[in-house]
Amino acid sequence: MSRLAFILNGPNLNLLGKRQPHIYGHETLADVEKDCRALAKELKVDLRFHQSNREYEIIDWVHEAREIAGGIVINPAAFTHTSVAILDALNTFEGPVIEVHISNVHKREEFRHHSFVSGRADGVIAGFGTQGYQLALRRVARLMVEKKA
């Protein structure tokens, strides 16, 4: 299995650090990508980092990951709570999947408490701020090695 991980980000996460810092913090998505790339180098993992506001693009990246990647970190953003299509795509992926939420969704509105993606994820991180991405990447890197063994 490949030592390539995909980090996928859903709608509105391009605004990270630019709006609602009391919920999502001050780091931008570019900062998150930079931190993840530094960690990936340390972990000797290759990285593809993507964000889209379109559901089909996220699905297409999961399909691409099926062909070339060993693991996926995904913050599906609002699609977390709505998208059976992303769940179906993730169910076709054989490697480890870690779901990340910057905020603690369980402390927020009721509609954020349910995640379709959690039905497939090997682990879920919520409420660790943007640091959650690095924790998720570490976990995916570990699971990629374990699943290979």
Q: Is 50 in the site for ligand CA2 (CB under 6 A)?
A: no
CB of 87 to ligand CA2, least distance (A): 15
Quickly list H helices, the chain: 21-24, 29-43, 55-68, 84-90, 131-148
Of 22, 50, 63, 101, the catalytic one is 101
Q: Contact region for ligand CA2 (CB under 6 A) — 32-40, 55-63, 84-92, 95-103? A: 95-103
CA distance 79 to 127: 18
User: Would residue 24 show up in a list of annotated catalytic residues for this protein?
Assistant: yes
Q: The tokens 């990629």 sit on which residue?
A: 144
| Binds ligand CA2 (CB under 6 A): choice among 6, 24, 49, 61 | 24
Distances in Å between the Cα of 93 and the Cα atoms of 23, 62, 72, 110, 122 are 31, 7, 9, 29, 12
Can you read off the two tokens belonging to residue 21? Answer: 């810092």
Q: Which residues are catalytic?
A: 24, 101
Binding site for ligand CA2 (CB under 6 A): 12-13, 15-16, 19-20, 24, 75, 77-78, 80, 101-103, 105, 112
